[in-house]
Structure 1
Amino acid sequence: MEDHRIRAADADRERVASAVQTAGSEGRLTLEEVEERLTHVYAARFTDELAALTTDLPRPAPPRPGFPLTRAALRRHPALRLHLAVVVALGVLLVVRWAVLGAGFFWPAFPVFWLAVSLFVHARVRSFRERPGTAVPY
């Protein structure tokens, strides 16, 4: 029966070494355990040997998506840029109208708030649709 083990690459070793060092800095491993595991990491020849060195450590949390309204998102989506321009134009128009009429109560805060919410929801939907593995509803 043939041995179907996969050889470890330097990138695999560095990834596992980083996980071991992180566990040491979090206090999950003592300094001696970190040194011992790092010695085994850099001596490992196969990926299953590397996996055995981190089985008792927690998996890192998957990265959370950041704020959806970024410059990169605005560059990728012309509809989002247009929505932002409309929100800004309407906000300025409402504030100018409030200032010209001399109303005491700042009523434009409410429509500007809802315009901003609509822009945020639009950006959030766009970022959700860009994630790999998500179905785009039609």
Structure 2
Amino acid sequence: MNERQDIERAVRASDSEREHIAKMIGEAAGEGRLSIAEADERLERVYTTRFRHELAEFVADLPAEPAGTAPARLGRFPVRLRVHAGVAVVVSILLILRWAAMDVPFFWPAGPMFVLWGTFLLHALLVRSGRVPPWARQRSGQPWWAERQRADG
């Protein structure tokens, strides 16, 4: 081995890297790929590991992607965005049902649905960018009415 490879192998593992490996081991135990005893043994060794290259041996015999990743894709979206999408779907369905019950020749729900889905798109873009608009920032751990009472009193 040359000197560069020795230096790369001597990189210390971070807590987040250990947590990632521990999560993979936990998922494998949940899927039945590892026994509880074997998972406990591996987890104990993971948390005492010092170097990054040593972590790979704990998951070398496990698949890279857990078996249940397809349904877990919803977990990528924050709850507030999923709620917004759910409300948009329900309101859109109600608007379409209302239109179907009326004897109107044009599709009038297109306007409200455009606004509804436009707000969802803006919400998704804001969540993706990670920015919080000034009106949505919470200045303290208390609700706005408690801040107002404190300022008035």
Structure 2: distance between partners of 1:119 and 1:52: 52
Question: CA, structure 1 residues 108+115, in 2 after alignment: closer, same or farther (shift >3 Å)?
Answer: farther
Residue of structure 1 in register with 2:22 after alignment: 17
Task: Please list every run of 5 or more consecutive structure 2 residues that lacks an aligned counterpart in the other structure.
Answer: 86-94, 130-153
Q: How does 1:100-111 map to 2 (within 5 A)?
A: 106-107=101-102, 111=108
Identity of aligned residues (%): 26
Partner AA of 2:117 in structure 1 = V
Q: CA deviation at 1:116?
A: 4.5
Deviations 1:83-113 (A, max 9, x none): xxxxxxxx8xxx9xxxxxxxxx94299634x
Structure 2: distance between partners of 1:117 and 1:28: 47
Partner AA of 1:67 in structure 2 = R
TM-score by length of 2: 0.47
Q: CA deviation at 1:19?
A: 2.4
How many aligned residue pairs are there? 101
Residue of structure 2 in register with 1:126 after alignment: 122
Structure 1: distance between partners of 2:40 and 2:120: 44
Contact 1:68 1:124 in 2 (8 A): no
Structure 1: distance between partners of 2:103 and 2:84: 22
Q: How does 1:38-77 map to 2 (within 5 A)?
A: 38-55=43-60, 56-59=62-65, 61=69, 63-65=75-77, 66-67=81-82, 69=84
Structure 1: distance between partners of 2:103 and 2:82: 25
Q: How does 1:2-13 map to 2 (within 5 A)?
A: 2-4=6-8, 5-13=10-18
Question: CA, structure 1 residues 33+107, in 2 after alignment: closer, same or farther (shift >3 Å)?
Answer: same
Structure 1: distance between partners of 2:76 and 2:112: 22
Question: CA, structure 1 residues 31+111, in 2 after alignment: closer, same or farther (shift >3 Å)?
Answer: same
Q: How does 1:81-96 map to 2 (within 5 A)?
A: none
Q: SS of the counterpart of 1:59?
A: coil
Q: CA deviation at 1:124?
A: 3.9
Give the aligned CA root-mean-square deviation in angstroms: 3.7
TM-score by length of 1: 0.51
Partner AA of 1:117 in structure 2 = M
Task: Please list every run of 5 or more consecutive structure 1 residues that lacks an aligned counterpart in the other structure.
Answer: 71-90, 96-104, 133-138
